[in-house]
Each structure stands twice: as structure tokens, then as C-alpha cells.
Structure 1
Amino acid sequence: SLFLQGTIFTLHLSQRRIFLLLVRRNLENNNLVGPLPQSLNRTGLEVRTTGNPCLSFTSLSCNNVSSTIDTPQVTIPINKKHKKQNNIAILLGVSGGALFATTLIFVFMSIYTRRQRNKERDITRAQLKMQNWNTSKIFSHKEIKSATKNFREVIGRGSFGYVYHGKLPSGKHVAVKVRFDRTQLGADSFINEVQLLSQISHQNLVSFEGFCYEPKRQILVYEYLSGGSLADHLYGPSSKRLSLNWVSRLRVAVDAAKGLDYLHNGSEPRIIHRDVKCSNILLDKDMNAKVSDFGLSKQFTKADASHVTTVVKGTAGYLDPEYYSTLQLTEKSDVYSFGVVLLELICGREPLSHIGSPDSFNLVLWARPNLQAGAFEIVDEILKDTFDPESMRIAASIAIRCVERDASGRPSIAEVLTQLKEAYSLQLSYLAASAHTD
């Protein structure tokens, strides 16, 4: 069908072909005169034209119409079926993408939620287990935050995290250790320390007040010792305010040895501290010493076991060389570390130091031959002319034996304690005699 809408229509013989070609085309309005583009001359294309003079697919001129007439404007309707198919494809693509993204998010959220639930379940299970260890108290994070006044006062820092001063509602002052390591390894170490602290009790071990174990929170609460650490008094700010004399140093050594002797011989099962050092020996206001920090400690699983095979952990300068090479941890590993502490008390210097000659970098390698030769010139300058020579000789002798490379040549901590008590007694007698003479 052909719909010709307009006021005038003229059809020449030469246009009959055009008429036939335009069957089923709708040519709208006015006179149809002039050439049409050849691109429209194809089957299946619907053409609608506005009425312009001389409509033709050839360049022939029409009657009374110039051959330069402009090509009439045409409207080419978009193929609705093709457009509809495109729209459907786009809609399906967008919907599919959104569905995939939603599914992906749901999967990730499900995994995350499941992991969080497992962590919370593990923490709850661990808390119930810890409650059976007769620990003093399980604190909430809110209680810890209140006790420390929002973690305001830092009193210490180590590889584990920060230590804050706190005050419980009862008025008791506490040290709050907030751990950095929240990995599974850190959680195992935390639970290990809580278990050990819950099982031991001795006047020369820092007492355990409780803990907080919540998601992403591992906090230990100890008694607060206002005297700081032995390291503070030997090398830190406290050393400038108040120097430790020889009798005070021996008293600290005796107290620390008592604490270690309890771990090795008084607890069941036996415990190896594994990180004995000056910064882990704390002092109260009366200068009584207590051993602290049991995060690396190991228990003997069998009463008759001679060692515990484990990965090497500890602090450089204090580490037992035999344990380092064999991975076999024994009580003698603690003895070696304590021997280094004794050398620090005698010489007044750290285990590893770049100050001085290269030969003096390592305290053990430097001090041992000098003390064996009786060269007390290496004794801390602060102690010069204030100690009993025999007291110093006994302390130096036991310190040298403690740091023997071969563990079998080292004394037990019980023997170390006996020797230190003798050195302490001699120094007290020396001071009493000196006071009487004055």
C-alpha cells in the first residue's frame, strides 16, 4: 500500500517505475519532486518523506524544476524490533552483573561472618577453659579502660606491646599489659601465659591479677611494682637518680634466683622461663625483686624429661648458645641467661654494646676471661672500693660458670642461689665492719 498525503501529485511515465518501487512506502505531504538517495533504494526499507518537489532516485530534472534541487529530507524509522532486542540484551547484562556482584558480596560476608563466629566461639571456649585455671579475675575491656583511665599512663613497652598503669575499684594499683600480636601464634602465647600465671605463686614472681580476652583484645593484669625494672636502675633514667650499690645488686640477684628456683624445682610441672633478662626482673618500692613475663615460658610435659625441643626464642645477648644450636631447651638455658644478668650486675653494662673496643662488644666474651684472671678492673666504676673482694670473687665465679658454652658445665639454679646467698652475707658483714670502723 502507498499513502500519498498532500495537495498536488503529478506522475509522469518515467516515474511509474518509481511508483512501483515505492509500493508499501508512505510518502507524506506536498508535491513529490526531485532525486532520492540511492541508499534508500533497497528492499525492506520503510521510507517516509516530507513533501518536496520532484522526488526521484535519478538525477533527471523534473518539469519546471531545476536539476539542482536539494535532496529532500527523509525520516528513517529505527527498526523497533532491533532496538527492543538491544534493550533486552542490555537489561539482561546489567541484571546478570548485579546478581553476580550481590552473590559475591554475600559469599564474602558469609565467610567473614563464619570466621568471626568461629573466633568468638574459640575465645568463649578459651575463656571457659581459663576460668578452670583458678585465675583471679576475668576483666571486661570496659573495666580495663576505666582502670587505666582510657590507657593514659604508659609505664613500659616491649616487643609484645605497651604496659599501662591502672587502678582497680578496690584501690589496688596494677600493671596492664596490652599485647600487639593478635595472630593465632600470639593468642597461643597469651593463653600459655595465662595458664602459667594461674598455676604459680611465689613471693619472687610477679603476681597475676587477671586478664581480658575478647575479640582483638589480649590484656594481662599484674600487680604494680613501682620500682621499675632492673634494667632501668642499671642503664635507664633511674640509674642517674639512684645507683645500686653492691649489696643491693646481690639482694636483687638472690631474689631473682629464688623465683627461678621455684619455677625449676618448686612448681609442678617444671617451668623454663626462656626469657630471663634485666628488663624482666621488676622491683617494688623496697627494692625486692620479682621475675616477670612468662609469655615464652615452657612447661615440661613429662616429669622425667631432660629437655623440651622447641623453636628458638629469647633475647639476643641472653640466649643460650647450646639451645640455639640444638633447639633443646633445658633449665640450664635459664641458668645461662641468669649468668648474663649477673655479669651485668658486676660490670654495669649491657650484654651487647657498641661502646668501646670491638673486643668488648659481647659482654660474655669480654668479661669471662677478665674475671677468670681476677681482673676486677672491669667491675662497674660505681662499685669501686665499696665491695668485699671475696664477695665479688664468689659472685664472679658463679657468673662465669653460668655462661659456660657447654650446658653440662653450668650449675643448677639451686647451686647459684646458694653461692649468691654466701656472697650477699659476706658483703653485709663487710659493710657492718666498715660502719664499726668508721
Structure 2
Amino acid sequence: MATRRWLLLLFLAAGVLQPLAQPDSRGFISIDCGLAEEASYMDDTTTLAYVSDAGFTDAGTNYNISAEYLGFSRRGHNLRSFPDGVRNCYTLRSLVSGLKYLIRASFLYGNYDGLNRPPASFDLHIGVNFWKTVNMSTWGADQGNTATVEAIIVVPNDLLQVCLVNTGSGTPFISSLDLRPLKRTFYPQATAEQGLVMLARLNAAPVNKTVTIRYPDDPHDRLWYPWFDATIWAEISTTERVYGIGDDLFEVPWKVMQTAIVTRNASKNIWFGWESLDTEPRDDDPSRPGYVAILHFAELQLLNASNGDLRQFYINLNDELAYPTGFTPEHLISNAIYDTKPSRHSGYNFSINATANSTLPPILNAVEVYYVIPTTNLGTDSQDAPAAMAIKAKYGVRKNWMGDPCFPRTMAWDGLNCSYAAANPPRITSINLSSSGLNSDISSSFAHLKALQYLDLSNNNLTGSIPDALSQLPSLTVIDLSGNQLNGSIPSGLLKRIQDGSLDLRHGNNPNLCTDGNSCQLAAKKKSKLAIYVAVPVLVIMVIVSVALLVFFLRRRNQQPGSMKNRRAVKPQNEEAMSTSYGGDDDSLRLVENRRFTYEELERITHGFDQVLGQGGFGYVYDGFLEDGTQVAVKLRSHSSNQGVKEFLAEAQILTRIHHKNLVSMIGYCKDGEYMALVYEYMAQGTLREHIAGSGHNGGCLPWRQRLKNALESAQGLEYLHTGCNPPLIHRDVKATNILLNARLEAKIADFGLTKAFDYHNNTHLFTNTLAFTPGYVDPEYQATMQPTTKSDVYSFGVVLLELVTGKPAILSDPEPTSIVQWARQRLARGNMEGVVDARMQGGYDINGVWKVVEIALKCTAQGSAQRPTMADVVAQLQECVELEEGRAPSFHTGGSSGDENYNAYASAQSTDVSSNTAFETELRIPTLAADPGPTAR
């Protein structure tokens, strides 16, 4: 880390001491999720009032945890679960735009559903920005399966939404949600472009080892977890108050600063550290996870300089100076040394060691560690979003109207279409609320949607008059109000729009509308002109329709099976049936809801197809950029491809109805004459096969922990296809080259051109007249029967697991072609695990975990499908392997000067709680590998 990035913060000023001011508690929002509506209570320890979440969300179901977990904090006794919908949100209002807030969410499973099976994981979003993946499976049942996550962000508006996103790995739930205002000057690393997610906030050597300091001792209600180890460090403390003076950017509670750890003599070092999942971090790449560390110091002893007393030390990060000179803390004054910008390393090792002149050992009072998340995604336009939320509130619209109306695109509200211009917020262009059971009058909020082009409110029970304000919407071209109970007349502003041809207003089947003679028409002179304007287009349309029908019937006649012109195009009767019935190309493409590109657009976004990312049976894959700068992959069908329209339509239709974090998503398609293409999300790190072989983007050996993580992610994607889709889907081409990695090295299944549906419920067998799969991955039972099942995918995935363990390809060519399955079984039969495991990993793994993965792989590749596990079983077993690997080393390591002590900084306070000596408020002390998108600890 560059030395110039570190600053010394000395809280000294020319003025008088200013004590810490307790902020107005009316700025606090404290929510007990799942509490009965209108219920509230006062927390015994903090005196903070907790209220029900009923006024913050309109989705989910309340539950109580099982009786054996009621010893946890009061806020964990109940929760709200969200079994329905992909995204469910809490809306926090009356905030101050541009102010910094601390947001904290806590989760205690407590076997609330009686299944004793917590969800593997789900995602949290702050507004339209990703916050964190909550991984419940890494927390033991004895702790009730708990987790707490916390972030510091700048809110862009006067409201904030916290959303739980179902990623296909279990039902999301939440126990409590807190929001605390902070001063604008606090935590300067948190800006409008980036937020801070807490990895650790540690109170060194507290007097009471079982208490987490928070409000009212910390007026901002931060949680300061106990951190100590008498076997490594000595402890010092004072009863005097420690002050922060001047422009205090952190305002650490004086009770935290009253205690500190010191080494047992001046020659020893204080050290601690953590690891990043990012194995190839670069300072110039802001997309990589970045970390911010804040070290707090105060001298607690009154030193006698005349006797030569001096406490001075260096601060090093990864054996380099983090602060350029020796540092001497001030007596009873809070000081902080901190990183002004996020740093990016594969691992972080801090050491604090005494200078040559120091007579006293180093000291440390408190530590904070955060990692950075980007907050640059643009939500729906600041005028459109409140209008849409007001419409939702007025009519009580449920559907999936949760979170931001337009962003992300995959979660846009049902019935809404939006425009997505580069560098500008999305705008709502179309609303379809037809047949939605709407009551009351037409909301005035529609008039605030200035980009609205199409509004369909037909077939509801709307009453009252039509508001003239709709005529002021400049882009509006169609309003459908038919089939309601509207009354009165059509406002003059709308009549003028109709007359000049800029608006199509449909208002039929409103019995009480336009009952007063000419109340829906302009003056007589204008009426005649209106008739002309209406009649002429109608006549033109009738002529066009007549010509189109004539052409249609002539083409149909020429395309009869007996016609010599088209006889070669007749479909053979024995051609393989598709998993989805298609009425024809155009009918099929109507099912594709994603963006449709023209060939010219593809040429433009790929810069003339100048950069090839890869090649497959369908054709070449090209690099491209959309208008808004989004990078995409464009798979263009080659004219020589053996995959035709059938595979193209199959993949396009499947990708529009499946959505999972471990499946590559489709952005759009092209069917422009002879040109066919699919446009996907860009997977920056290439294929899993490349990384196994060491030919990936970083060119290094993929570490075992990353291999295991990718195995679990791929398995979750396949499990979703098999169990989360109805009917289940068989991929039929699972292989390491069809597993892609994104910029965060997260694995996603790709290439669905051979995917087929299989109806378990009707025991419908799927026969094919062509064998799919790639050599080395073929299920022998499928090869013999031509009848693929989900167990065919299981077999292929077992081969991928063996590739991950061995580092070898599916078929070995030396000395003669041999399948990896046969090769591994021969060596394992002799107990030769060392001859199987990839030697490039140099023992960086838990051998028991590797054995378990190999056992899973061998079960998956059993000859008979009945002996193979389901993908759900594979996911569960791989999750156990991940836990084994994560348990191999502590999450946040600390120690003395020798550096060989390995100590879990959080272990000594695992049963700590502010109010009840439990773990509900302290589960963050063990950050988990799988849940963290950027930071990871060891």
C-alpha cells in the first residue's frame, strides 16, 4: 500500500475541548421484524424503542422461532419470511438526502419453520446496489443459525429500500433491521459512489469480556465486539475519560478507548490480518474488492519523559510501512491512523512494532475493517419512482411491485416497461394494469410520469372523472380506460390531443361516461375536422390490412406440403420432438421477452465483430458493449453450424424463463433474416476449464478454496434446473467449458441449446435420436438408452468435480486416451490420493475435504443412474466440504511478534450479547467465506 495514502488523524484543535454530542434519537429507525402489527417495546439495555415491521413492508409472513432458541436476544424471537417473489423490500422513509447512515440487518433462523434446514444463502440489496450475500449455513445450529451484516452508505434520496433477494438457495428471512444517522464528515471513505461493509469492529481488551459496547455508550449505536487473548497480549486500562477533539471523523466511544492491548515487552509485535478472495488484486481496478482499515490509539498511562519513558511504534502492512514515521499516541486523546482509499491485496497482515528508541511496547485500543461496495447503479428517475410507489400504495398493487420499479432489469415491476439511456436514470415508458382489480379514481400520480408513452387501465373498477392532467404528458400516445365505471366527460386537453392525432384514447364500456350529448367531442367545426383525421387513417389501415391478408393467403397456399417450391422444407415425421412446442419462428419469438437486436445493432455493439471471445458448435462468441456501456457476449450462429433454428429457439426460450445467480442470463437475441444470435451477460474470467488448466486470465493455479466455491456454485445452478423449474430441465451438456466465471470469480452454468424438459410427475421419458454431451462427460446409461435424465447431468458434473480435484481434462491422452473417471478410480483403489490431487495446489487444502469431494464425484459417476445422488444431495454435501475448508483456519487472525500463533480474534466472545450473553448481536465476529462477495477472512 502506498505510504502517501495513510494519514494521521490527531484530534487536536486550537479551541476548547468539545465533548461528544449524543445525536437526536429521533433519527433512529429500529425494527423488530415479524413483531405483531402495531406492537412495540423498549429494549431493556439500550432503552431504544423497537417497532413492528408491518408499516415498512407489505409482503412476507410472520413466524416465531422454536422454543429452544428463546434465550437469544428479544429481537430474535420472531422474524419475517419471504417465500414468494424474487425480491422483497423494506422501505425506510423520512431520511435526509445526502446524509450518511449506518444500516444493520440481523438474522436468527431458530428453526422457525420446523424443518431444521436454514436457507443456504440469499442476497441483500441497498436500493439498487448489491450489499452482501447472507450465508446462513456457516453458522452452527447451537447458535440458532445467526448472522448480522452492517454497512455505512450515503443515501441519495429521502427514502431507502433494503431488499432481500431469493437466489434459489432457500427462502430469505430477517429478524431485525436498524438504521442510524451519522454525521456527514464521518467515515470519509464512504461516498456517493461507494459504501462500506463491516468486516470487523473490535474493542481491544475490554474490562467486561462478555459485553458488546453499543448505544447509549456509543451514541451512533455501532457495535464494538470484545477482542482479547491473555495468552498473547497484556492489557492496560484507565478510569479516566478519553476525548476526541476537533474534527473527529470517527468518534470512538470513550469506554472503548479506555482499554488497550499491549505486547508483553517492547521487542514484541502486535499483529492481525485477514485474506481476500481476490487472488489477483490490482490497485487500478475499482471492480476488485477493496478494503479500508482504521486503527485507533490513545495513550492510557501518564509517561515521565524525564525518565526516558517513550511509547513509539511503526505500523506495517504486508511488511511495508503503512504510516511513514514512528507514531506516538497522545495521552487520553483519540487518534486514528486510517486508509483514505481502499487497498487491494490478496492478503492483509498488519504488524505494530516498537521503534528502536521506544522503551514501552506497542499499544492498540480498537480496530475497524471494512470492504467497499460500489453504489453507482442508477435507480429509476427521481420523479418516476415516487410516482410509481404512490400508484402502488393507492391501489394496493401486490404482484412483484417491490424495490425499484425499473432496476435491475431482471426485477423490473410486472406490467412496467422502462427506457435505459446511458448515464441517465431509467424512465417508466409503459404501464399495464389491465384487469388488476383497481378501485377508486385515477391516481393523480400518473401525471408525474413525464416519459410515459402507454397507459392501460382497462377492465378494472375505476370511478370518477378522467383527469385532464394526463394531456400534459408529452410522450403519451395510448390510454386505454375501457371497461371501468368512469363518469363525466373527456377533458378538453385530451380531446385536442385526439384531434391532432397525437393520442389514442380508448374509453368504451364506461356506462356513465359521455352521457351528456357532445360532452366527449369538440365544437362542431372541430368535430368535422376530427372526423376527417380519424376516417382517413382508418381507410388507410383497412387497405393495408386487406393487402397484408391477400399476401398472407397467397404465401400459405405456396407453402403447402405438396408445393414443389417448399417440398424440401417439410419437417420429417421422425424428427426429434422439442421440449417446448413451437408454432413457428415468429410465434416462438413472441415468447422471448428480452430485447430484440437487429444485425446492424450487433455489428455496432461488437465494433464489426472484431474481438472473438470463444467458439462453440453454434458459432463464434464476440465481445460487445451496449449503449449504456454494459459489456456483453454475443454468440452469433455460423452458417456452417450444425445447430439450427431449433437449438436457437430452445436456448432463447429457456433463458427467458429461468433466473438464478448461478446461470448465465440472456440480455437479448437477434433473428434478422438469416442471422441468428444470442446476447448474454459478459463473464469476464472465461471458462472454468481455462482456470483449472492454468490458462485463465490470471495464468496461475486455481486454489482449492476457489475450486470448491465454484463447484458449489455450479451445483446450485444445476439443482435449480432440476428442482426449481417446472417441468425440470436437463442441461445435457454439462462440462467445464460450459461453466463460466464472472469478474468476482463466481461460477455460472452456460449454453442451454441442448437443454430438454422432463416431466417427473407424469413419468414422461425423454427419448432423443441424437446423442448430446461431449466425449468424456457422457453418461454411459444415456449413451446406451438414448434416454437422458437429470442423473445424466449428475454424471457429467461428477466429471467436472474430478477435473477440479486433479487439474486434468475429462479425457487424458497420455499414454493412450483414458477417461478421467477410469484414471481416478484406478489410483484411488490403491489408496493413492496424492497421485490424484493436483500437485500445483501444494497441499493448500484440508485433505478430509478433498476426500469428501472425490467421494461425491465417484458417486456421481456411478454406472447406473439409480446409484447416483440428486443434485440437491450434491449441493448439501459440497456445502459441508466448504464448511470443512473454512474451518481450516480462523477468519481474522492475530498474534504476537513471532507470527506463528494462529488465533481466532472472535472466538473468545462467541456467546456475548449486550442484553443476554448470547450470540445474536455478535455473529459478525466470524465473517464467512461463501457469504462475502469481496472480503474474506481466514
- TM-score, normalization: structure 2? 0.33
CA distance in 1, matches of 2:891, 2:841: 17
CA distance in 1, matches of 2:701, 2:710: 13
Counterpart position of 1:342? 801
- Asked if structure 2 preserves the Cα contact closer than 8 Å seen for 1:308 and 1:330, the reply is yes
- Asked if structure 1 preserves the Cα contact closer than 8 Å seen for 2:588 and 2:649, the reply is no
Counterpart position of 1:322? 781
- Asked if structure 2 preserves the Cα contact closer than 8 Å seen for 1:138 and 1:212, the reply is yes
**CA offset digits 1:154-207 (Å, max 9, x no partner):** 011122210001111121111000122578961111111111111111110001
Shift of 1:215: 2.3
Q: Does 1:157 align with 2:615?
A: yes
**Residue 230 (structure 1) aligned to one of 684, 688, 697:** 688
Q: Does 1:272 align with 2:734?
A: no
Residue type of the alignment partner of 1:127: D
Which blocks of at least 5 consecutive residues in structure 1 are unaligned? Answer: 1-110
CA distance in 2, matches of 1:148, 1:140: 12
Q: Does 1:127 align with 2:583?
A: no
CA distance in 1, matches of 2:652, 2:640: 15
When Rg is computed on C-alpha atoms for both structures, the one with the higher figure is 1
**CA offset digits 1:51-89 (Å, max 9, x no partner):** xxxxxxxxxxxxxxxxxxxxxxxxxxxxxxxxxxxxxxx
1:211-230 equivalences under 5 Å are: 211-230=669-688
CA distance in 2, matches of 1:292, 1:415: 22
**Residue 820 (structure 2) aligned to one of 352, 358, 363:** 363
Q: Does 1:313 align with 2:772?
A: yes
Shift of 1:319: 0.5
- Asked if structure 2 preserves the Cα contact closer than 8 Å seen for 1:259 and 1:291, the reply is yes
- Asked if structure 2 preserves the Cα contact closer than 8 Å seen for 1:166 and 1:173, the reply is yes
1:125-204 equivalences under 5 Å are: 125-133=584-592, 135-180=593-638, 186-204=644-662
**CA offset digits 1:77-120 (Å, max 9, x no partner):** xxxxxxxxxxxxxxxxxxxxxxxxxxxxxxxxxx999669x99x
CA distance in 2, matches of 1:416, 1:286: 23
Counterpart position of 1:84? none
Counterpart position of 1:96? none
Distance change (3 Å), C-alpha of 1:239 and 1:164: closer
Counterpart position of 2:135? none
CA distance in 1, matches of 2:723, 2:630: 31
**CA offset digits 1:6-30 (Å, max 9, x no partner):** xxxxxxxxxxxxxxxxxxxxxxxxx
**Residue 402 (structure 1) aligned to one of 853, 860, 863:** 860
- TM-score, normalization: structure 1? 0.68
**SS in structure 2 opposite 1:328?**
coil
Distance change (3 Å), C-alpha of 1:184 and 1:280: closer
Residue type of the alignment partner of 1:349: K
- Asked if structure 1 preserves the Cα contact closer than 8 Å seen for 2:617 and 2:643, the reply is no
Q: Give the aligned length.
A: 322
CA distance in 1, matches of 2:628, 2:812: 44
**CA offset digits 1:110-159 (Å, max 9, x no partner):** x999669x99xxx99523432234x2111111111101011011011122
Q: Which moved more, 1:233-242 or 1:362-371?
A: 233-242
More strand by share: 2
Distance change (3 Å), C-alpha of 1:183 and 1:206: closer
More helix by share: 1
**CA offset digits 1:284-338 (Å, max 9, x no partner):** 1111110000011111256432631113111000010110001111000000000
**Residue 293 (structure 1) aligned to one of 751, 760, 768:** 751
**Residue 412 (structure 1) aligned to one of 863, 870, 875:** 870
- Asked if structure 2 preserves the Cα contact closer than 8 Å seen for 1:182 and 1:218, the reply is no
Counterpart position of 1:421? 879
- Asked if structure 2 preserves the Cα contact closer than 8 Å seen for 1:351 and 1:363, the reply is yes
Q: Does 1:380 align with 2:830?
A: no
- Asked if structure 2 preserves the Cα contact closer than 8 Å seen for 1:208 and 1:222, the reply is yes
CA distance in 2, matches of 1:336, 1:124: 34
Q: Does 1:206 align with 2:664?
A: yes
- Asked if structure 2 preserves the Cα contact closer than 8 Å seen for 1:208 and 1:221, the reply is yes
CA RMSD, Structure 1 to Structure 2 (Å): 2.8
Distance change (3 Å), C-alpha of 1:429 and 1:407: same
CA distance in 2, matches of 1:417, 1:372: 25
**CA offset digits 1:388-435 (Å, max 9, x no partner):** 111111101100100111111111011011111111111111133896
**CA offset digits 1:13-50 (Å, max 9, x no partner):** xxxxxxxxxxxxxxxxxxxxxxxxxxxxxxxxxxxxxx
CA distance in 2, matches of 1:332, 1:344: 19
Residue type of the alignment partner of 1:429: G
CA distance in 2, matches of 1:416, 1:155: 31
Residue type of the alignment partner of 2:787: Q
CA distance in 1, matches of 2:676, 2:595: 14
- Asked if structure 1 preserves the Cα contact closer than 8 Å seen for 2:849 and 2:885, the reply is yes
Distance change (3 Å), C-alpha of 1:302 and 1:181: farther
CA distance in 1, matches of 2:782, 2:596: 36
Shift of 1:236: 5.4
CA distance in 2, matches of 1:339, 1:146: 41
- Aligned-residue sequence identity (percent) comes to 38
Residue type of the alignment partner of 1:165: D
Shift of 1:372: 4.9
CA distance in 1, matches of 2:838, 2:869: 25
CA distance in 2, matches of 1:409, 1:229: 30
Distance change (3 Å), C-alpha of 1:324 and 1:286: same
Distance change (3 Å), C-alpha of 1:244 and 1:112: farther
Which blocks of at least 5 consecutive residues in structure 2 are unaligned? Answer: 1-561, 571-581, 895-900, 903-938
**CA offset digits 1:374-400 (Å, max 9, x no partner):** 421120011232111111111011001
CA distance in 1, matches of 2:640, 2:655: 20
- Asked if structure 2 preserves the Cα contact closer than 8 Å seen for 1:160 and 1:181, the reply is no
**SS in structure 1 opposite 2:752?**
coil
Counterpart position of 1:391? 849
1:23-172 equivalences under 5 Å are: 125-133=584-592, 135-172=593-630
Residue type of the alignment partner of 1:136: N
Residue type of the alignment partner of 1:322: E
Distance change (3 Å), C-alpha of 1:348 and 1:183: closer
Shift of 1:269: 1.6
Q: Which moved more, 1:213-222 or 1:255-264?
A: 213-222
**SS in structure 2 opposite 1:431?**
coil
CA distance in 1, matches of 2:730, 2:789: 7
Residue type of the alignment partner of 1:316: P
Residue type of the alignment partner of 1:427: E
Distance change (3 Å), C-alpha of 1:181 and 1:417: farther
CA distance in 1, matches of 2:794, 2:872: 10
